[in-house]
Amino acid sequence: MIFFNKLSTRAKFFLGIFTFSMMLSFVGGVFSSYIMRVIQVRENLMDVMQDKLTSAETVLKSDIHNISKMLNIIEELASFKEDGALDEFNQQSLSYFLNVLVKTNSNIMQMRIIDINGDEIYRLQRNDIASPPVTCVDSGELQNKKHRYYFTQTLTIPEGGRYGYLIWI
């Protein structure tokens, strides 16, 4: 402190400016380093998110492909006779494949087979998305769905076409 008091006002002024400049330089460097770190973290996060999105997209495409193959099998089994009934073999096979489809895809809450009159002929369901047990609804509890939009919209699809939609009941 004694040394500082012996300096001229001009030297004190320049020393003050120099000290202030050094502090600004230090703070600027720290702030700049912080900003660079934030940018780096952001870029790393974006890379991780892109990887997760790509992975999820691959899984989704695989799931859609597998469900599509299963629906092709179900479509073949659901060939109705002229009187609108399924033969015994097709009915048992259809039941098996619908069970496999619903049990292996936990996001499916219900799967219905509805005849041309809107009557459910088969329905599988689970109580909630987290509940693994899939139950087959008794024939006495099956319903007519001829007034539901998803049924009426399927009637407009050309023969051999498919209809898929998220249905919230």
Question: Can you give the residue range of the structural domain that contains 116?
Answer: 78-154
Residue at 122 is within a domain: yes
Please indicate, yes or no, whether residues 85 and 147 belong to a single structural domain of this protein.
Answer: yes
Residue 46 lies in a domain: yes
pTM surpassing 0.75?
no
The span from the CA of 85 to the CA of 79, in Å, is 9
Whole-number percent of the chain with pLDDT over 90: 11
Report CA 94 to chain centroid distance, whole Å.
Answer: 28
Domain count, the chain: 2
**Does residue 101 form part of some domain?**
yes
118-131 confidence digits (pLDDT tens): 998 888 888 776 66
Please give the span between the terminal C-alpha atoms of the chain, in angstroms, as a whole number: 83
pLDDT in tens, 42-87: 999 999 999 999 988 888 888 788 777 777 777 766 665 555 566 6
CA 80/CA 64 separation, integer angstroms: 26
Distances (CA, A) of 102 to 88, 95, 110: 21, 11, 7
Say whether both 90 and 124 belong to one domain. yes
* Residue 29 shares a structural domain with residue 85: no
Within a domain: 63:
no
Region class of 60: left (phi > 0), else alpha (psi between -120 and 50), else beta: alpha
154-160: average pLDDT: 81
| pLDDT of the residue at 92 | 74
Q: What is the CATH number of the domain that holds 94?
A: 3.30.450.20
Mean pLDDT, residues 92-112 taken together: 77
Kindly give, in sequence order, each residue whose CB lies less than 8 Å from that of residue 165, ignoring residues fewer than 6 positions away: 150, 153
User: Does 11 share its domain with 42?
Assistant: yes
> Do 86 and 28 belong to one domain?
no
Q: Which residues of 44-80 are buried (b: 16+ CB within 10 A; e: fewer)?
A: eeeeeeeeeeeeeeeeeeeeeeebeebeebbeebbee
